[in-house]
Structure formats: structure tokens, C-alpha cells
């Protein structure tokens, strides 16, 4: 028997001999009938203590212990004489003398000399965790003076630990260790409530993994769980320490980012997360590759409750996935309309081919050194009967999601082969093959059929395949490549460097050409840009593998000069030609006219987007409605004001709190070109937005209720033309205004 056990028995025997329990219970008043024996109560007390579940205690008027059960001394690892006479509070850890459920404190209860029950406190042990639930009642003399306390205690360690574990499980995701949906939702609600009072911003990011379903379907749910754990670890490495990350369930994550409203900073964070998550994973020796799409919303601009902000971020995520996945989007109010437009486009696209609305155009591919045409890339076009031309960037992702891309792809392949077979000479035709088409093991049969029916020789057909076909890399992938090469067709790796694979597949995939994505071409001539170094590396890799290279999206002469210096073999872009109709190509090739001289701007300019919509411009204390004609990161062209001097400063109001200071750099009659003081940034898709927005809290402080804020028409705050004028009359308008909206809309 251990020394500690001997000690406990010794103390218990001493207590029995000294009448300890009798002194604890004291004299008991007898009811009017049946007497109660104190010795019987003592026996019951001893049985209760011996069970190990409970114990008793008592104090004097100074709250010093006069009695405590042996089990308490044993738990604390102290002898009786070290405990008796000490303050009752010394039995418990100082930092946990509060009942966390009710926020009651033991010192408060003792100080108020009141009865208490079921206070859960942590025992003052050094090496083990022990929770006691204690109850006590005060005793007073006839004068009302405190004689002391008597009470009992129960060991509730197991129950407490079980409760804590249940709480932990409800707060944490069991698979990834991240915050659970329950916890992350509560944290968002708490943050938004606090920040609303403090007029602070809070950003919310929702992340959805792309192509994760393929992992579960092909490798099983156990592999999927492992990928989720690895993705969670990567996510935690790349986010800021003061952000909170949670898993909503499945393959969806949420990130709370306090005190951030800079969409440039948010965009940078989203790109890092997408890049990190999109790197290949290894599970049981098998390489798995996924991607990520991100939707973001910022309070108070996009919502002031957790439901509103989550709904906005969800809609932005939906837009990001519809834009082609692997990208991010910020919420904007027009996403509601875009979601409905997309649904309608999907319905219309299903019948577009049968109605003859789909056609092919062909963009020349030119040898960089000689300006001679070597071939053409077939590009699909959709001329909607009501909406007009629909961009392939819009309808191709819709076709993929709606499972109609296979039919469109087969038609394009057969039509391109048919057209090219009638061209004079040996110009090649390149046709894009979607990952969905490539996954079909009958692809080689389809290609052979298209070649046979058209009479086109295999060496004149080039199939452009993106890196994403390697996401499910297996024996079937290698077999498809092998059968295609046996047919004699050429293979080009499209959009190189933008996918999600490693370079390992280049060792075995029999490509004839690498196409350098235009994202590496744009801005390559700008100072400090690293794209030229990337292009150099790609060209060197291609040469080592005996492959040709094609640079896409070349639009300016300075970019063409750089591409030539970097020894890219082929060029494709508006610097040589826009896409041409088949009849134009046939006529040109019939003449033997294979040389195209480059034309275009001398130097690279920021991309300009042709847009026709009304915006506001503010000068002094007047707001003018104008029509926006085109937009770039650095400036905007507007129409609607008369004779505006060069150098005039405006505040451009794009709506939804997006305000940009701009200066007139060109002015011609009713048209002005404005340069922004702070460049716009990408919205994650094909649009632009301001880095910051004017907070609705500020606008509300200026007298505008949050719930009634219109899109655009609100005063600036903190400027000489703020909406309030303290009774002063407005100045006279400086500029005349012409309403060209209807005419411009007709042009659009």
C-alpha cells in the first residue's frame, strides 16, 4: 500500500476517533416525533466520502478551513495539518475560481455570506486536472455574526472533460482541425456586431476547391480526406495570423479578415491562396491536382449582418466559378442580374448550334522571323439573336458546366477540318480540345472520322490541349496521346504555365508545340516586369524538347520586338490580324498571299475595355451624369460634358462607394479622357474596380441611412463639396451637359 494511501487511512482513523464528522454535523434539532442519531449521519457521511465521489468541508468565521475530507488532502498531495487553518479558497486554482457558466466567483459568494451551490472550480493540483463542484451554506449566531460555512463537494472531472471535449468538437472540424461551421459562423456574427458599433470593416472570403469531386470519384473518399487535410495546412500557412479560417463542410472553406477593405490587398491574398492550393498533392504515391475559386465580400459595403455578407461572398464565388474557375471575384450588386443572365444563356446555348448561331473564325499563326502565315487557330463564335456576339470566355464555361461542350467540340473539329481541306497550300488548322473531350476514350476515333470525311491530311491538323487534362493523369491519358500520334496529327500544349500540373508530363507527352499564354505576354515590356524572364525559360525548355513555341495575344510592336528577341518561333495576335472568316482565308490563300506585316500601337498600353454605361463625375459641388465609353486601369473615357479644360479634376463615381480622383488629360468637344490618380485594380475576372470604397458608415454619418443608400447618388464626405452646405447656396455649374446616353446605347 502506498505512503499516500497509508496517510489517508491514518487521517480517516484520526477523524473517527476525534469525532470529526460529529463536529462537522454538530447538534441536530429533533423533529417533533422521530429522533435522528448523529452517529447514523456520520456513518452516511463516511460512506459518501469512501465512495470517492464526494467530500465535506467547513470553515470558521474567517473562512479558514476547520474540516475537510481526507480525499481532498490526497488529491492536493498535502497532509491534513497543511490544509486545516488555511483559507478555503486555497483549495482551488486562483485563475479558475469562477464558474464559467454563470460567471459567479467564489470570493464574491463568500464575501456576500450567501448560500451557493454547484460552483465548478479547478482544484489547486500541480500535475493533474481535477474539477470540483462545491456547495455551501453560511451559519450565523443570534447576533448575525458569521460563524463559518459548511458544505460539500463532488468530483465532476469526468463530466467536465466530456463537456469540454464536446465543446471542442463542436468548435473544431474533426478532419482538418480548423474552426467548424458552428464556430466560424458565431465568430463572424460577433465580429460584425462589434465592428458595426466601432465603424470598422471586415472582409469575408469563401473558398471552394475546383475538381475535388474527381479526387473522390477516382481515388476514393479516404484520398479526398487526405487532400482536404493537406489543403487546410497549406491554407493556414499562407493566411495572416489574425485571420480566422474555418471549414464549412465538404470542400468549402471560409476566412474572416478583420479590418481590411483594400481590395488590392484582398486580391493579392486570394491569388496566393489559389496558387498554394493549386500545387500538386501526393496521396499514397499518387499525384493529385485540384484548384480553388474564391468569392469575397466586405462589410459594411456588401452586407452588415453575417447572413448578408455570406450571401454576397457566395454569389461572388458562384461568379468566379462561372468565369472559368481558378480565380477570385469581389461581390457587386450586378452579380444578381448576371446570375440570372447566365441561366438564360445556358438555356439558349443548348439550341444555338441547331439554330445556326454558332460559327468558326480563324486567327492567323505567323512565323515570328518571316511574317509568313503557317496556320490558323479555329475559334468558336456565338451570335445570339437578341444579345449579339457572346464572348467565348462567357459561353465556353457555361457549355462545360451544362455538359454540352462535347457536342460543340465535335462540331468545331469536323467544321474546321472541312474548311481547311479546301484551303490552297499546306496551312495548318489548330482546334481546341476541352478536357471533357480529352477524357473521352473515343476522341481518337472522332479525330480519325473528321479527317477521313473531310480529306484533310493528318499533319495539317493541330490539336490544342490544356494542362488540365493531366489532372486525372493515368494510363488512359497516355493511351489517348499514343493513339492521336499514331494518326499523325500534331499536338500543342495550350495556355502553358497557367494550369495546375508539374512539368513531369512533358517527359512523356508527345507535344510538338508549346503555346505561351497571353498572361505572360501582357506587360512583358514594362520596367520591372518578370514576364520576359518567364518567356525566356519557356523558350529554352521548348528548344531542349525539340518543340516550337507560339506567343498568344501580341498586340503592340514593342511586344513583338521583344518576342522576336526572345526567339519565340511563332506569333498570334492582333498585331498581325484579327480572326478572319473562312471565306476571307480561302480568298487570301488562293492568291498565295501568306505574308502579313505587323501593325498596331508602338508600345504596350493598359488594356482598355469598351463599356457603355452611365456613371457620375463630381466637380466642386455638382454631380454630372455622363456616359463611360471605355475603361482601363489608368483612366476612363467619358462623353456628355461640353468644353472641359485639360487639367480639370473630377471625382468619378462608379457606384457602390467606388470613387476615383481623376484629371482630364484629353478633351475634344463632348469627349474627355481622364487619368486616375490611383490606378484601378482587377476584380478577379475581366473587370476593374477601385482599391477602396467610401464606407456606408461615413455616408450614414453624413445623414444617409444605410438601408436606403442608392447606387452612386450620395455626397462625398470630408470635401468642400460634401453633401451638406450649411445653408450655403451651391455654386453655378462650370460645364454644360449633353445627354448622349440614348445615342451611345444605340451604338453599343
Closest C-alpha among 526, 548, 530 to residue 539: 548
Three-class secondary structure of residue 4 per DSSP: helix
Residue 746: what pLDDT?
Answer: 32
Residue 503: what pLDDT?
Answer: 67
Q: Whole-angstrom Cα distance, residue 337 to residue 310? A: 18
**Which residue do the cell numbers 468565369 mark?**
323
Low-confidence ranges of the chain (pLDDT < 50): 1-23, 25-34, 36, 97-103, 500, 703-727, 741-748
Residue 703: what pLDDT?
Answer: 47
Residue 469: what pLDDT?
Answer: 75
172-333 and 609-747 in the same fold: no
- Domain ranges in the chain are 3-162, 172-333, 340-591, 609-747
- CB neighbours of 92 closer than 8 A, spacing ≥ 6? 106, 121, 122, 123, 124, 132
CATH for 340-591, options being 3.20.20.210, 1.10.3720.10, 3.20.20.450, 3.40.50.720: 3.20.20.450
pTM of the model: 0.58
Residue 11: what pLDDT?
Answer: 43
Give the homologous superfamily in CATH for domain 3-162: PAS domain (3.30.450.20)
Closest C-alpha among 522, 575, 571, 574 to residue 550: 571
Please state whether 548 falls in left (phi above 0), alpha (psi between -120 and 50) or beta. Answer: beta
* Domain made up of 609-747: CATH architecture: Beta Barrel (2.40)
pLDDT above 90 covers a percentage of the chain that reads 46
The torsion defined by the Cα of 140, 141, 143 and 146, in degrees rounded to 10, comes to -40
Query: Which fold, 172-333?
Result: Alpha-Beta Plaits (3.30.70)
- CB neighbours of 71 closer than 8 A, spacing ≥ 6? 8, 49, 52, 55
Amino acid at each position: 500500500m502506498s505512503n499516500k494511501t497509508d496517510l489517508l487511512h491514518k487521517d480517516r482513523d484520526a477523524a473517527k476517533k476525534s469525532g470529526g464528522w460529529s463536529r462537522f454535523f454538530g447538534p441536530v434539532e429533533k423533529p417533533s416525533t422521530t429522533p435522528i442519531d448523529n452517529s447514523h449521519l456520520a456513518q452516511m457521511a463516511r460512506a459518501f466520502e469512501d465512495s470517492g465521489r464526494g467530500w465535506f468541508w467547513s470553515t470558521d468565521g474567517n473562512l479558514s478551513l476547520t474540516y475537510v475530507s481526507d480525499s481532498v488532502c490526497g488529491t492536493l498531495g498535502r497532509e491534513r495539518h497543511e490544509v486545516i487553518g488555511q483559507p478555503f479558497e486555497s483549495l482551488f486554482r486562483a485563475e479558475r475560481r469562477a464558474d464559467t457558466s454563470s460567471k459567479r466567483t467564489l470570493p464574491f459568494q463568500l464575501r456576500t455570506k450567501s448560500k451557493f451551490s454547484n460552483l465548478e472550480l479547478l482544484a489547486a493540483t500541480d500535475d493533474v486536472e481535477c474539477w470540483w463542484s462545491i456547495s455551501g451554506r453560511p451559519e450565523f449566531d443570534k447576533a448575525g455574526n458569521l460563524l463559518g460555512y459548511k458544505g460539500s463537494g463532488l468530483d465532476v472531472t469526468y463530466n467536465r472533460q466530456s463537456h469540454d471535449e464536446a465543446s471542442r468538437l463542436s468548435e473544431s472540424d474533426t478532419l482538418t482541425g480548423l474552426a467548424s461551421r458552428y464556430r466560424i459562423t458565431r465568430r463572424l456574427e460577433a465580429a460584425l456586431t462589434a465592428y458595426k458599433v466601432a465603424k470598422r470593416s471586415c472582409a469575408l472570403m469563401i473558398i471552394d476547391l475546383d475538381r475535388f469531386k474527381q479526387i473522390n470519384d477516382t481515388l476514393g473518399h479516404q484520398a479526398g480526406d487526405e487532400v482536404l487535410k493537406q489543403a487546410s495546412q497549406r491554407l493556414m500557412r499562407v493566411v495572416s495570423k489574425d485571420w480566422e479560417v474555418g471549414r464549412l463542410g465538404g470542400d468549402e472553406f471560409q476566412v474572416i479578415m478583420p479590418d481590411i477593405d483594400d481590395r488590392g490587398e484582398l486580391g493579392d491574398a486570394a491569388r496566393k491562396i489559389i496558387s498554394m492550393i493549386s500545387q500538386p498533392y501526393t496521396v499514397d504515391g499518387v499525384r493529385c491536382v485540384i484548384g480553388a475559386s474564391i468569392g469575397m465580400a466586405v462589410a459594411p459595403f456588401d452586407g452588415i449582418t453575417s447572413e448578408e455578407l455570406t450571401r454576397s461572398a457566395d454569389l461572388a464565388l458562384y461568379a468566379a466559378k462561372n468565369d472559368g474557375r481558378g480565380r477570385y471575384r469581389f461581390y457587386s450588386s450586378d452579380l444578381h442580374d448576371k446570375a440570372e443572365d447566365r441561366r438564360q444563356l445556358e438555356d439558349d446555348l443548348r439550341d444555338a448550334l441547331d439554330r445556326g448561331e454558332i460559327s468558326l473564325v480563324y486567327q492567323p499563326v505567323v512565323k515570328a522571323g518571316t511574317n509568313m502565315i503557317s496556320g490558323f487557330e479555329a475559334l468558336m463564335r456565338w451570335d445570339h439573336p437578341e444579345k449579339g456576339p457572346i464572348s467565348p470566355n462567357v459561353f465556353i464555361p457555361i457549355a462545360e458546366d451544362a455538359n454540352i461542350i462535347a457536342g460543340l467540340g465535335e462540331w468545331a473539329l469536323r467544321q474546321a477540318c472541312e474548311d481547311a481541306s479546301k484551303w490552297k497550300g499546306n496551312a495548318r488548322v489548330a482546334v481546341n480540345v476541352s478536357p471533357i473531350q480529352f477524357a473521352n476514350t473515343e476522341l481518337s476515333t472522332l479525330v480519325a472520322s473528321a479527317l477521313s470525311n473531310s480529306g484533310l491530311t493528318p499533319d495539317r491538323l493541330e490539336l490544342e490541349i490544356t494542362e488540365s487534362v493531366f489532372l486525372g493523369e493515368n494510363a488512359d491519358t497516355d493511351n489517348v496521346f499514343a493513339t492521336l500520334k499514331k494518326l499523325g496529327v500534331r499536338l500543342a500544349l495550350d495556355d502553358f504555365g497557367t494550369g495546375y500540373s508539374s512539368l513531369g508530363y512533358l517527359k512523356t507527352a508527345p507535344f510538338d508545340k508549346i503555346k505561351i499564354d497571353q498572361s505572360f505576354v501582357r506587360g512583358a515590356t514594362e520596367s520591372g516586369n518578370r514576364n520576359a524572364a518567364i518567356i525566356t525559360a519557356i523558350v529554352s525548355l521548348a528548344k531542349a524538347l525539340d518543340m516550337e513555341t507560339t506567343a498568344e495575344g501580341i498586340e503592340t510592336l514593342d511586344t513583338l520586338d521583344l518576342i522576336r528577341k526572345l526567339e519565340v518561333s511563332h506569333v498570334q495576335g492582333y498585331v498581325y490580324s484579327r480572326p478572319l472568316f473562312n471565306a476571307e482565308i480561302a480568298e487570301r490563300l488562293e492568291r498565295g498571299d501568306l505574308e502579313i506585316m505587323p501593325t498596331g500601337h508602338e508600345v504596350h498600353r493598359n488594356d482598355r475595355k469598351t463599356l457603355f454605361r452611365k456613371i457620375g463625375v463630381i466637380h466642386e459641388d455638382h454631380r454630372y451624369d455622363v456616359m463611360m465609353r471605355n475603361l482601363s486601369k489608368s483612366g476612363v473615357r467619358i462623353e456628355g460634358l461640353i468644353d472641359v479644360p485639360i487639367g480639370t479634376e473630377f471625382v468619378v463615381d462608379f457606384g457602390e462607394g467606388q470613387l476615383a480622383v481623376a484629371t482630364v488629360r484629353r478633351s475634344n468637344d463632348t469627349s474627355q479622357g481622364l487619368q486616375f490618380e490611383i490606378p484601378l485594380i482587377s476584380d478577379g475576372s475581366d473587370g476593374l474596380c477601385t482599391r477602396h470604397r467610401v464606407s456606408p458608415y461615413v455616408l450614414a454619418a453624413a445623414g444617409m441611412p444605410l438601408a436606403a443608400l442608392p447606387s452612386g447618388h450620395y455626397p462625398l464626405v470630408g470635401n468642400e463639396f460634401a453633401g451638406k452646405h450649411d445653408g450655403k447656396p451651391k455654386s453655378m455649374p462650370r460645364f454644360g451637359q449633353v445627354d448622349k446616353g440614348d445615342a451611345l446605347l444605340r451604338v453599343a
